[in-house]
Amino acid sequence: MGWNSWVTGFQNTKRCRYDIEQGILVQSQLVIQHDPLLELVLTMHSEVIMPVTQEQIGAAFSPKVVAVIGARKADDYSWLRNMRGFRGKLYSVQIDPNDIPGIEEMGVSNYKSLAEIPDQVDYAVIAVPRRVVPFVLKDVIAAGVKTVHMFTSGFSETAEEEGRELEATVKKMAEDAGILIIGPNCMGVFNADNGMRFIRTQDIDVSGPVAVIAQSGGHASSLTSAGQQAGVGIHTTISFGNGIILDSPDLLEYFANDPKTKLICAYIEGPKDGKRFFEKLKYAASKKPVVVWKGGQTEAGQRMATSHTGSLAGSMEVWNSMVKQAGAIRADSLEEALDVMKALAYLDPFTDDGIGIIGGSGGQSVAMSDSFARHGMRVPRLTEPTLEAMGSFFQLIGASYFNPVDVGGINRTSMETILDLLGFDPEIGSVGVLISPMILGGGTGKRTRNTLTKAQRSSLEQYKNSKDRVGKPFFGMFWAPVPYKDGKSLELIDEAFQAMGLPIFLNPERAAGAISKVIEYYRLHADLVAK
């Protein structure tokens, strides 16, 4: 017997109709009057949503007993395997005799119903066909489960009548029972602190101060994995999909109040309640940095967002104004979100936009100056005392020290002195160091080593030593026009920078974009800089 047998009698089940035209989705407007430069009217879709308490969300992130309902051989029991690192009790609920042997071979206890499980389940993963979901949910409610992660898709995002009606039924059941639903159509929770995962490659042995919120499961996974690879410590990620009960404003408020969270990164396709989203975004951004990447920025992207999570995206002009007035940080791509997240995680708060640059040739110095200037930052001439000090020893054969500093080959023995002079200059707020992957391969295009030599590591440590003496932010920038050819070298240098507590970006343009957004944020939130 499979899950589809549960659908018997479904046509006679009372349903709660989900009908946009009947007013479940209504228009709301918010006039923002506090900004004298802009009076903005936010026109976004609003929906009546069950109140979610902060205690409910906290419980969802810290269950003691998890049950996976519907693990199947067809997908290699993915949800059970994802949860194998969970530091609580894990059970399976599966009624199909063809799937049960594989579950038992994994050493996971399987039951035919939640009621048979000897422990009180407080978190259930539902991965069954969509028509079965209301019946499974009825059992979940009867068993006293407080949180449901609904992986199953095929609801309102399909724009089909059946999908809309099923979603409305599920929502009404959850509201009546007072349970929390994550989803549907989502990947759920990653929590490094208790071993919850939705992708097996997620590192549950390393935590940190960052929380990730995403409507998209794919982006939730990418932001988490890429962030961890970049040395950004992520303690919790949540993919919430259609967000019929738990939605982005709830999560923004929760992580804003969470003392462990120092930085929030969010991917949003379309908030259901524009006014509430703005209020919670503004609240969160007043307490800690919030990076927001908006999906569906074009007509084509908006069309896809609707079919992906059922989101109804609004005007990008309105969105950008809203994010700016909320005091959050806008990102327009995965790479930009990652870069800003990395800069915020590694660098102490600062507001000085004077950039000191070192390490490039003449042409590279021009290009880097253009990159930072395009992003609204200064690449100032150094002050006369600094120039005089540089001039007392600096060899100008194939080199220059006016900023950017082109050290050339002959001055490298004085690198730490040059770094200190550059960093201590009063015109400089932060220092960017250009790094070429050729240091590991002699310019041959082939990397002959899989580890850094002692001399190479010592050379890189000069930047950390100078940063500690100067007390200003230091960051690295790769110069690797064809990065996949230099993959191992980039990885080794990146790992060395992570070990030193310094961020390094794939190229100067990406560094400039991230640093400029960090400076803009801290200028808006001077109270956070003071802390």
Kindly write down the DSSP assignment for every residue of 245-291, as one continuous string: SS-HHHHHHHHHH-TT--EEEEEES--S-HHHHHHHHHHHHHHS-EE
The pLDDT of residue 80 is above 60:
yes
What pLDDT is recorded for position 455?
87
The pLDDT of residue 44 is above 80:
no
Q: Which amino acid is at 406?
A: D
Q: Which residue has the higher pLDDT, 15 or 60?
A: 60
pLDDT tens, residue by residue, 310-324:
554 557 788 888 899
pLDDT tens, residue by residue, 105-152:
999 999 999 999 999 999 999 999 999 999 999 999 999 999 999 999
What pLDDT is recorded for position 35?
42
| CA pair distance 528, 161, nearest whole angstrom | 48
The pLDDT of residue 205 is above 70:
yes
Dihedrals phi, psi of 505, to nearest 5 degrees = -110, 155
The pLDDT of residue 447 is above 80:
no
Q: What confidence tier does 303 reach under pLDDT thresholds 50, 70, 90?
A: low
Q: What confidence tier does 344 reach under pLDDT thresholds 50, 70, 90?
A: very high
212: enclosing H helix or E strand: strand 210-214
| CA pair distance 308, 444, nearest whole angstrom | 46
SS3 495: helix
What pLDDT is recorded for position 409?
74
- Nearest alpha-carbon partner for 349 in 223, 530, 119: 530
What pLDDT is recorded for position 38?
34
What pLDDT is recorded for position 495?
95
Q: Which two tokens stand for residue 388?
A: 């005089």
Percentage of the chain lying above the pLDDT 70 cut: 85
The pLDDT of residue 173 is above 90:
yes
The pLDDT of residue 46 is above 80:
no
What pLDDT is recorded for position 298?
62
What pLDDT is recorded for position 453?
87
The pLDDT of residue 297 is above 70:
no
What pLDDT is recorded for position 12?
34
What pLDDT is recorded for position 5?
47
| CA pair distance 62, 57, nearest whole angstrom | 9
What pLDDT is recorded for position 262?
97
Q: Which residue has the higher pLDDT, 31 or 325?
A: 325
225: enclosing H helix or E strand: helix 217-229
Q: What confidence tier does 300 reach under pLDDT thresholds 50, 70, 90?
A: low
Lowest mean pLDDT among 45-59, 111-125, 194-208, 442-456: 442-456
What pLDDT is recorded for position 9?
33
Domains annotated for the chain, with CATH where assigned, are 188-346 (3.40.50.261), 355-530 (3.40.50.261)
The pLDDT of residue 301 is above 60:
no
140: enclosing H helix or E strand: helix 133-142
What pLDDT is recorded for position 394?
87
Lowest mean pLDDT among 291-300, 369-378, 422-431: 291-300
Find tokens 């935590």 and name the residue: 207
pLDDT tens, residue by residue, 220-264:
999 999 999 999 999 999 999 999 999 999 999 999 999 999 999
Q: What confidence tier does 8 reach under pLDDT thresholds 50, 70, 90?
A: very low
